[in-house]
Structure 1
Amino acid sequence: MILEGNDFKIDVTSEFGTLRSLLIHSPDSGLGKVVPSKAQDWLFEDIVHLDTMRKNEYDHYVKLLLYFLDPDKIKGKKNKVDATETRRAFFKPDSPGFHASGKVIEIQTLLADILQQSDIRKKLVASVCAIESCNYRLQQQLIDTPPVELAKIFISGSLSATEMIFAPIPNLIFSRDLGITVNNHILLNKPAKKARFRETLLMRYIFFNHPLFAAYRDNILEIPETPQHFLRPGEDLEGRTTLEGGDVMMVSPDHLLIGCSERTSISGANEAIRLLFDNNVVKKVTIVKIPHKRDYMHIDTVFTQVKRDTWVLLRSLAVAEAPLEEREPISWFIDKKTKERAEIVQFEKDEKPRVFACIEDLLADISENDLKSGTKTKFIYSGNNTFPFDAREQWTDSCNLLALKEGVVVGYDRNDKTAEAFKEAGFNVIRVTDLLQKFENNELNPQNMKDTLILMPSAELSRARGGFHCMSMPLLRDKVL
């Protein structure tokens, strides 16, 4: 079933406006084929147990999203969906009983849709085979493969349960990194790691060819490489133009944050700024430099927004406790006149750049000035700002939360101290299994919920090193101004 784009809209102006539609990818069989010897090459820290990840963890996430975004697909059906056979069909895009929501949109479904077009199928097979160095006969075999099955092969890397032809793309569950919705535009990513090249290619074909996005094709922004990039010596990663969605946040209608991190380069940030300003997409872009360490990876592993006036963050990276002269030199942020160094610089078209002393100052400015919160900005700290829980829980994505609506966020149940910090800040904390049953029994309405942290089971999902902010690409949120 092809999702139609007649009533479909793209518009994201904040990180916390009520979520109306998003892209996700449920864990596929490729995740269960990550082997220890290749895990790091495929950007995984560990191997996961796929059935547990699906049935005990991610499936709850899909149900939760449906209750909030598309309740007709789940309301009154939960008990049946929880049954073993029905569950398998409900969550698998290639099953007849798949929920097929037009608001909680599965990437694999969109891929299968565009592969029904013969010319697109041939082009995409040729492109994938070029990336993966496939032989000619295999290329012909893939062209002749039915679209639904071919979509599974592209994602899992497997022709069958036992035959792999190329690596899986297990990071596709982190749909945030594929692109970011900026107002009514989509800014596509340029991944830093080869392991993500195929998923980026698949998403480009989806955005430019699926009828769902037909009205927005002129609003899809692709970051170009720098001139003569092919002349860089060897594997010059520092000079490459890279940008991933976890480093991009739409914090107000005119203001975008871009992190420079392990995965997003200076060149990528500069090219994104030029592209956004030239197309008049936003008026202000702030660059946030964080250490190039695996501990942090993207800015959304360090902070995310909970409410107009509330953020969750890792305090050790957010507060300017060291004087400027003692901080790590950042030559590309040096003011040539004052010689001062900074970690955060804000750019407005035709205006002098503005420097912030620390992340907390930036977030307070966003809440109080961009979003007109009218109150002093509040911060909830990872691990309740207690050593060693602050670092331990940040590692398991205590700061990587997805806002379903203002004040209602989704996070992992293993981050106990962070949950305590939410309680101390006046939030309700509830486990997703209890919440879903309350929705089904009409004891609680998702639309009436306020100030709540929803705890998701996370034994296997947390091994993948990404939270629910990573596992979502919002396409439509209600405006907040």
Structure 2
Amino acid sequence: MILHSDKLKLSVTSEIGRLRALLIHSPDSGLGKVVPSKAQDWLFEDIVHLDTMRRNEYDYYIKLLLYFLDPGKIQGRLTDIDTTENDRNFYKPDHADFYASDKVIEIQTLLADILEDRVIREKLTASVCAIETCNYRLQQQLNEISPVELAKIFISGSIDKDQMIFAPIPNLIFSRDIGITINNYILLNKPAKKARSRETLLARYILFNHPIFEAYQNNILEITEPIQHFLRPGKDQDEKTTLEGGDVMVVSPNHVIIGCSERTSVSGAHEAVKLLFDNKVVEKVTILKIPHKRDYMHIDTVFTQVKRNTWVLLGSLAKAELNKDLQDPITWFGDKKQKDKTEIVQFSIGKNKPRTFDSIEDLLNDVSVNDLQSKEKTNFIYSGNNTFPFDAREQWTDSCNLLALRDGVVLGYDRNDKTVEAFKQNGFTIIKVADLLQQFESGTLKPHDMTNTLILMPSSELSRARGGFHCMSLPLLRDDVL
């Protein structure tokens, strides 16, 4: 059944406006087939226990999102879901009790929807088989598989329980990296690693072909390589045009921050700036270069916004020295001697000279005060309470990668104890998700009544995948921050 939503509106103008709709992808069987010898090729640091990740961790995420975004799908059902033998599959599209929300939208559902069209199915199957080097007979076989099953195959790589025909795409759980909503546009990514090529292909077909995005097809922006890029020498990452959603933050209606990191190149950031300015999507873009290290990967592993005047960040990267003599976005960050330094440059339409910031803190304070008109002092909550070695340990397990459901209400992992202490010291209520769901179900607390709260999510397996809830969300609609 094709998901139609006449009410779906694309609009994201901040990181903290009340979340109304988002794209997610719940853990699929492919995550349970990652082997140690291929884990790093598939961008995983470790192997995970799939059933634990589903039943004891991600399941809470889906339930919480539904209470906040689409309570009619969950209110009054919690006990039944929790005591059902098959509750582990409550959030999977092929399950009889799938929640089927048009606000908490499962990517696999959208993929199955577009595969109902025979022409699209044959084109997408041919494209997948081309990049996965499948033979022609297998391609013909896939064309005859039902859309629901074919969607599972394209994502998991398995044609049945025992037979894998190509690699899984376990990183699809990190839905933010396939694209980012900026106002009423979507900027598609251009991944740095081959392991994510199929994700991008599937996302492109969904966004350009699914009816819920029909009104916005002219607002889908694709990063392209510069003309004659194939003539450039060398294979160095810095020479490629790459951009991933974890390096793009919409901090106000007219301002986007783009990170240059292990996964987003200078060229990718440069092409994104041109696209955003040429299409008049925003008036201001800040390029933030962080060290090219696996520890950081994207800027949202280093900082995220908690509320209008509050950010969580890694203290060891909070300060940086800048070279202010360079003027151009390519040459500014092109000096390889500066590769492990943090640099921040802001470009604005109509201004010939870019603006620089001495530190990440200075930039984030400027966002809070000047972009979001905060009247309160800007507060910084530090990973590990800014204490070594807990700052680095907890940043590695995504203490800085939080998802705001509304201004001041955020999700984070329960394992980052020192960061939790820092939240308490800054006046935040701390609550475990299991306790919170019971309060929602009983009616003793309502989501819209919550303020200044860190919701702790179980994380023994999810944290092994090296991504937090900011990574596991692609917001499509947020309320404006007034």
Q: Name the TM-score, length of structure 1 as normaliser.
A: 0.96
Structure 1 residues 236 and 334: CA distance shift in structure 2, 3 A: closer
CA displacement at 1:235 relative to structure 2: 2.8
In 1, are the aligned partners of 2:439 and 2:445 still within 8 Å (CA)? yes
Aligned-partner SS, 2:237: coil
Paired with 1:85 and 1:477, the residues of 2 have a C-alpha distance of 35
Paired with 1:211 and 1:334, the residues of 2 have a C-alpha distance of 40
Question: For 1:160-207, what per-residue CA distance to the aligned partner results, in whole angstroms no more than 9, with x for missing partners?
Answer: 111000000000000000000000000000000000000100000000
1:424 maps to: 425
In 1, are the aligned partners of 2:13 and 2:251 still within 8 Å (CA)? yes
Paired with 1:86 and 1:174, the residues of 2 have a C-alpha distance of 24
Range with bigger deviation, 311-320 or 151-160: 311-320
- Establish whether residue 221 from structure 1 lines up as the match of residue 221 from structure 2: yes
Aligned-partner SS, 1:288: strand
Structure 1 residues 154 and 228: CA distance shift in structure 2, 3 A: same
In 2, are the aligned partners of 1:13 and 1:182 still within 8 Å (CA)? yes
RMSD: 1.7
Structure 1 residues 301 and 114: CA distance shift in structure 2, 3 A: same
CA displacement at 1:136 relative to structure 2: 0.3
Paired with 2:330 and 2:444, the residues of 1 have a C-alpha distance of 56
1:332 maps to: 331
Range with bigger deviation, 48-57 or 341-350: 341-350
Aligned-partner SS, 1:158: coil
1:205 maps to: 205
1:403 maps to: 404
1:180 maps to: 180
In 2, are the aligned partners of 1:342 and 1:356 still within 8 Å (CA)? no
- Establish whether residue 109 from structure 1 lines up as the match of residue 127 from structure 2: no
2:91 maps to: 91
Structure 1 residues 158 and 310: CA distance shift in structure 2, 3 A: same
Count, aligned residues: 473
Paired with 2:149 and 2:362, the residues of 1 have a C-alpha distance of 50
Paired with 1:31 and 1:215, the residues of 2 have a C-alpha distance of 34
2:476 maps to: 475
In 2, are the aligned partners of 1:185 and 1:216 still within 8 Å (CA)? yes
Structure 1 residues 265 and 441: CA distance shift in structure 2, 3 A: same
In 1, are the aligned partners of 2:270 and 2:330 still within 8 Å (CA)? no
1:244 maps to: 244
Paired with 2:125 and 2:233, the residues of 1 have a C-alpha distance of 31
CA displacement at 1:5 relative to structure 2: 3.2
Question: For 1:215-269, what per-residue CA distance to the aligned partner results, in whole angstroms no more than 9, with x for missing partners?
Answer: 0000000011111111233533221110000000000000000000000000000
CA displacement at 1:375 relative to structure 2: 1.5
2:67 maps to: 67
Paired with 2:301 and 2:445, the residues of 1 have a C-alpha distance of 31
Amino acid at match of 1:464: A
Paired with 1:335 and 1:455, the residues of 2 have a C-alpha distance of 40
Aligned-partner SS, 2:317: helix
Structure 1 residues 345 and 479: CA distance shift in structure 2, 3 A: same
**Structure 1 unaligned residues grouped into runs of 5+:** none
Runs of 4+ in 1 over 4 A off after TM superposition: 322-325
Paired with 1:71 and 1:86, the residues of 2 have a C-alpha distance of 21
2:4 maps to: 4
Paired with 2:269 and 2:175, the residues of 1 have a C-alpha distance of 20
In 2, are the aligned partners of 1:89 and 1:96 still within 8 Å (CA)? no
In 1, are the aligned partners of 2:249 and 2:257 still within 8 Å (CA)? yes
Amino acid at match of 2:370: N
Paired with 1:130 and 1:306, the residues of 2 have a C-alpha distance of 43
**Structure 2 unaligned residues grouped into runs of 5+:** none
Question: For 1:49-86, what per-residue CA distance to the aligned partner results, in whole angstroms no more than 9, with x for missing partners?
Answer: 00000000000000000000000000000011112335
Aligned-partner SS, 2:345: strand
CA displacement at 1:318 relative to structure 2: 1.0
Paired with 1:354 and 1:251, the residues of 2 have a C-alpha distance of 17
Paired with 1:80 and 1:184, the residues of 2 have a C-alpha distance of 38
Paired with 2:83 and 2:171, the residues of 1 have a C-alpha distance of 28
Question: For 1:450-481, what per-residue CA distance to the aligned partner results, in whole angstroms no more than 9, with x for missing partners?
Answer: 00000000000000000000000000000003
Amino acid at match of 2:84: T
1:297 maps to: 297
Amino acid at match of 2:398: D
Q: Name the TM-score, length of structure 2 as normaliser.
A: 0.96
In 1, are the aligned partners of 2:54 and 2:88 still within 8 Å (CA)? no
1:130 maps to: 130
Aligned-partner SS, 2:180: strand
- Establish whether residue 365 from structure 1 lines up as the match of residue 330 from structure 2: no
In 2, are the aligned partners of 1:8 and 1:212 still within 8 Å (CA)? yes
Paired with 1:316 and 1:235, the residues of 2 have a C-alpha distance of 31
Aligned-partner SS, 2:239: coil
Paired with 1:381 and 1:89, the residues of 2 have a C-alpha distance of 36
CA displacement at 1:335 relative to structure 2: 12
Amino acid at match of 2:302: V
1:389 maps to: 390
Q: How many percent identity over aligned positions?
A: 73
CA displacement at 1:349 relative to structure 2: 1.3
2:414 maps to: 413
Range with bigger deviation, 133-142 or 85-94: 85-94
